[in-house]
């Protein structure tokens, strides 16, 4: 179902708030994976604030939907999402990375409420998610599992072992999302290790592929609606995004995979985010092209 | 030291990985069959410096460690000498089957320079800490395992690895290491411990980032407690310097090992295996990360937390000095 304008506005405001909280978290932490946090924020926002059946007051609720952050390095993006939902005290974000804090660069499921799996070693998440999906079906339960992967992460062989198995086991209650920001650490994905034709690879492994604009809530909603209607093939959503979306001086620049902000950069980042939020709310072209510099060069 | 194209002063301004990168560039100049491989961590591990100098001899395989070590095996079989760099945790665990079966089993000339080892990537948490690799790697047949104490020793190790037949695992830290040597020509020899300080009351056997801390502790103990503590830098864990360990048992009868690694299976265990074989009674204690997944935090803080910093080491020495061990009047080799 298309989003109502009210719902869209609510999601835009929430994503904006979370991006700002993520910038603050990077400052509190000293540094962090800001680029991949910004590219994934709209995806995480629509999942947690529209689609996922979750109750932060009952984090162990048996029939909750599961979210696995396979690209586990964006703790500074994901922890704000959980804190804002009330899984833990937002104040804790101020101790991010401090010695003895439960919050480190990669979130630990034993220490951070709401985190379903301790990730950070890339390539593991889809297998864990598939295991959960298969378990749900075996137990006759209707919850879904969502797995968010990085595109660089898809270099890992294990991703494709899991993909083959997901199609084989017809895991239609598993939703695979790839944050296609076209950047990894050492450079653009197509220069370091070419992924294209990327959608065809997923198709060849037995998936139905839905491509969408990962910074446009209408486009994301259509993709998730399609995934939820999966009949006999699992769905992979390739969300085209921009690394560092919304922060002009880092957008599309692979060198901003990881970094820190001084006071001046923080102010500039927030000013840039506000500008892009306004543009999106005004209904101006808000998609991947608008806030980035040519898709990850 | 032969082939070092940077001074001690330069060395203090470079991270350990940068010294590795620089050394590999020099080595690559001398030996055309050296190639480099990384898995989207060329910049972080500094093997990218080699990649910039010799782009045609450098292969970034993307985030695919298993493929990387398998490819390195193939290259070695075809006569090349691959230097391979990713984080220690992915070298020793993600790609272990490839390291074991493709590289060690066939005794191939693959040199693994693994960075961000121990707790040196402290804030990254347990997915990136690597406190099991010494135990894992030394159990692989044919493998040589080196844990350099600082940047200069890393340069020696990277060069020595080239001349050593078969697989070599060199474990280095993220960031800067406190220099432990005043001069580069202290006589690095693979498989031979370096005596950092002489002493007869007790021997501390350390490796990697704990060497400097052990030396500091020994200095304090001499000043404050009047103790004469020997410090051995056991930079080569395999093959281990059994002779130095046996001598320490005979001459000091008290041994403390200290490592930025789990107390299970690493330096402490390697030393215990040799020491137990002497048949002598001695006091023994292993310092390291206890059997747990570490808390997060800065490297220094974590070393302090687990008692493997200067203070923790000094406290363990004092405690051990107060402990009795079975008297053995008949030891003719006792001092
Ligand atoms: C197995 C493994 N290898 C290497 C790394 C180091 N690493 C952390 S993030 C990253 C790049 C990830 O790129 P991508 O998946 O595209 O993430 P994004 O650009 O969305 O941040 C790498 C290589 C890791 N965490 N795990």
ipTM of the complex: 0.93
Under a CB-based contact definition with an 8 Å cutoff, are residues A36 and A150 in contact? yes
Sheet holding A208-213, edge to edge: A66-69, A145-150, A174-180, A235-240, A208-213
Closest atom, ligand 1, to C-alpha of A121 = 26
The pLDDT mean for chain A works out to: 95
Residues contacting B44, CB < 8 A, separation 6+: A185, B17, B87, B115, B116
- B34 and chain A in contact, CB less than 8 A: no
Closest atom, ligand 1, to C-alpha of B90 = 1
Please write the tens of the pLDDT for every residue from B123-142.
Answer: 999 999 999 999 999 999 99
- The chain B residue lying nearest A258, using CA atoms, is B44
How many angstroms does the Cα of residue A149 sit away from the middle of ligand 1? 10
pLDDT at position B5 is 78
The correct CATH number of B194-321 out of 3.30.450.20, 3.40.50.920, 1.10.10.1590, 2.60.40.60 is: 3.40.50.920
Instruction: Please tell me if the domain spanning B8-171 has the same topology as the one spanning B194-321.
Output: yes
Number of domains in chain A: 1
- The chain B residue lying nearest A195, using CA atoms, is B62
Mean pLDDT of A109-135: 98
Nearest one of A17, A80, A30, A15 to A258, comparing CA atoms: A30
Q: Do B63 and A108 touch (CB under 8 A)?
A: no
- The chain A residue lying nearest B46, using CA atoms, is A186
CA atoms within 13 A of residue A166's CA, in its CB half-sphere: 35
Closest atom, ligand 1, to C-alpha of A33 = 21
**CB of A36 sitting under 6 A from ligand 1:** yes
SS3 B263: coil
**CB of A121 sitting under 6 A from ligand 1:** yes
Cβ-Cβ pairs closer than 8 A, A with B, add up to 92
**Which tokens sit at A251?**
């957008």
- A190 and chain B in contact, CB less than 8 A: no
- B90 and chain A in contact, CB less than 8 A: yes
What separation in angstroms does the CA of B109 have from each of B106, B153, B163, B200?
A: 9, 21, 10, 40
How many angstroms does the Cα of residue B302 sit away from the middle of ligand 1? 25
Closest atom, ligand 1, to C-alpha of A72 = 25
How many angstroms does the Cα of residue A71 sit away from the middle of ligand 1? 7
- B304 and chain A in contact, CB less than 8 A: no
- B67 and chain A in contact, CB less than 8 A: yes
Query: What is the residue extent of each domain of chain B?
Result: 8-171, 194-321
Is residue A296 very low, low, confident or very high in pLDDT (cuts 50, 70, 90)? very low
Ligand 1: which of B37, B39, B40, B61 to mutate, most ligand atoms within 8 Å of CB?
A: B40
Please write the tens of the pLDDT for every residue from B6-41.
Answer: 888 888 899 999 999 999 999 999 999 999 999 999
How close are the terminal C-alpha atoms of chain B, in Å? 36
Please write the tens of the pLDDT for every residue from B91-121.
Answer: 999 999 999 999 999 999 999 999 999 999 9
Please write the tens of the pLDDT for every residue from B281-318.
Answer: 999 999 999 999 999 999 999 999 999 999 999 999 99
Nearest to B123 among A105, A108, A193 (CB): A105
How many angstroms does the Cα of residue B245 sit away from the middle of ligand 1? 42
Residues contacting A10, CB < 8 A, separation 6+: A49
For B117, the enclosing helix (H) or strand (E) is none
Shortest Cα distance, chain B CAs vs residue A282, angstroms: 39
- A153 and chain B in contact, CB less than 8 A: yes
- CATH architecture, domain B8-171: 3-Layer(aba) Sandwich (3.40)
**Does residue B206 register a pLDDT over 50?**
yes
**CB of A45 sitting under 6 A from ligand 1:** no
**Which tokens sit at B254?**
């008290």
Residues contacting B177, CB < 8 A, separation 6+: B16, B149, B150, B151, B209, B212
How close are the terminal C-alpha atoms of chain A, in Å? 34
Could you tell me the residue range of the domain that residue A25 belongs to? 5-293
How many angstroms does the Cα of residue A12 sit away from the middle of ligand 1? 27
User: What CATH number corresponds to the domain at position A209?
Assistant: 3.40.50.970
Provide the 8-state DSSP code for B41.
Answer: -
Please write the tens of the pLDDT for every residue from A39-97.
Answer: 999 999 999 999 999 999 999 999 999 999 999 999 999 999 999 999 999 999 999 99
**CB of A75 sitting under 6 A from ligand 1:** no
């Amino acid at each position: 179902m298309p989003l109502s304008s009210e719902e869209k506005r609510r999601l835009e405001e929430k994503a904006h708030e979370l991006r700002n909280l993520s910038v603050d978290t990077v400052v509190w932490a000293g540094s962090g994976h800001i680029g991949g946090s910004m590219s994934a924020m709209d995806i995480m926002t629509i999942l947690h604030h529209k689609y996922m059946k979750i109750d932060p007051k009952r984090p162990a609720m048996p029939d909750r939907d599961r979210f696995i952050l396979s690209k586990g390095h964006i703790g500074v993006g994901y922890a704000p999402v959980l804190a804002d939902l009330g899984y833990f005290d937002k104040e804790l974000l101020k101790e991010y990375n401090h010695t003895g804090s439960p919050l480190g660069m990669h979130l630990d499921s034993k220490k951070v409420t709401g985190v379903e799996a301790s990730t950070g070693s890339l390539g593991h998440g889809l297998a864990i998610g598939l295991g959960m999906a298969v378990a749900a079906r075996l137990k006759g339960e209707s919850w879904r599992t969502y797995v968010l992967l990085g595109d660089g992460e898809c270099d890992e062989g294990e991703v494709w072992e899991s993909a083959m198995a997901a199609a084989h086991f017809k895991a239609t209650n598993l939703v695979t999302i790839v944050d296609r920001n076209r950047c990894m650490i050492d450079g653009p994905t197509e220069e370091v290790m070419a992924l294209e034709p990327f959608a065809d690879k997923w198709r060849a492994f037995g998936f139905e592929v839905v491509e969408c604009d990962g910074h446009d809530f209408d486009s994301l909603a259509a993709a998730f609606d399609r995934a939820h209607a999966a009949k006999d093939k699992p769905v992979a959503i390739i969300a085209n995004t921009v690394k560092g979306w919304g922060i002009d001086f880092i957008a599309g620049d692979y060198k901003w995979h990881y970094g820190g902000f001084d006071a001046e950069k923080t102010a500039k980042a927030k000013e840039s985010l506000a500008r892009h939020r306004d543009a999106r709310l005004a209904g101006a072209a808000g998609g991947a092209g608008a806030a980035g510099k040519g898709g990850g060069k | 030291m032969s082939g070092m194209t940077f001074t001690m002063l330069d060395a203090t301004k470079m991270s350990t990985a940068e010294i590795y990168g620089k050394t590999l560039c020099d080595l690559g100049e001398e030996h055309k069959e050296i190639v480099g491989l990384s898995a989207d961590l060329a910049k972080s591990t500094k093997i990218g410096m080699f990649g910039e100098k010799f782009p045609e001899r450098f292969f970034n395989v993307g985030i695919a460690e298993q493929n990387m070590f398998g490819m390195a095996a193939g290259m070695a079989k075809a006569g090349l000498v691959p230097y391979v760099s990713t984080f220690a945790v992915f070298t020793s665990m993600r790609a272990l089957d490839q390291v074991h079966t493709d590289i060690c089993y066939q005794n191939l000339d693959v040199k693994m320079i693994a960075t961000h080892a121990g707790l040196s990537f402290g804030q990254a948490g347990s997915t990136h800490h690597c406190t099991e690799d010494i135990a894992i790697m030394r159990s692989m047949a044919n493998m040589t395992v080196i844990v350099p104490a600082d940047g200069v020793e890393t340069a020696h190790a990277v060069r020595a690895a080239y001349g050593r037949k078969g697989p070599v695992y060199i474990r280095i830290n993220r960031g800067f290491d406190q220099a432990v040597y005043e001069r580069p020509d202290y006589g690095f020899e693979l498989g031979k411990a370096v005596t950092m300080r002489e002493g007869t009351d007790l021997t501390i056997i350390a490796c990697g980032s704990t060497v400097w801390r052990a030396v500091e502790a020994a200095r304090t103990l001499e000043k404050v407690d009047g103790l004469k503590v020997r410090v051995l830098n056991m930079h080569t864990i395999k093959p281990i310097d059994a002779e130095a360990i046996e001598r320490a048992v005979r001459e000091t009868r008290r041994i403390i090992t200290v490592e930025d690694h789990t107390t299970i299976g690493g330096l402490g265990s390697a030393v215990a295996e040799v020491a137990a074989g002497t048949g002598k009674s001695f006091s023994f204690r292993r310092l390291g990360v206890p059997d747990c997944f570490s808390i997060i935090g800065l490297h220094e803080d974590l070393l302090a937390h687990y008692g493997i910093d200067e203070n923790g080491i000094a406290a363990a020495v004092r405690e051990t000095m107060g402990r009795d061990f079975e008297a053995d009047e008949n030891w003719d080799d006792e001092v």
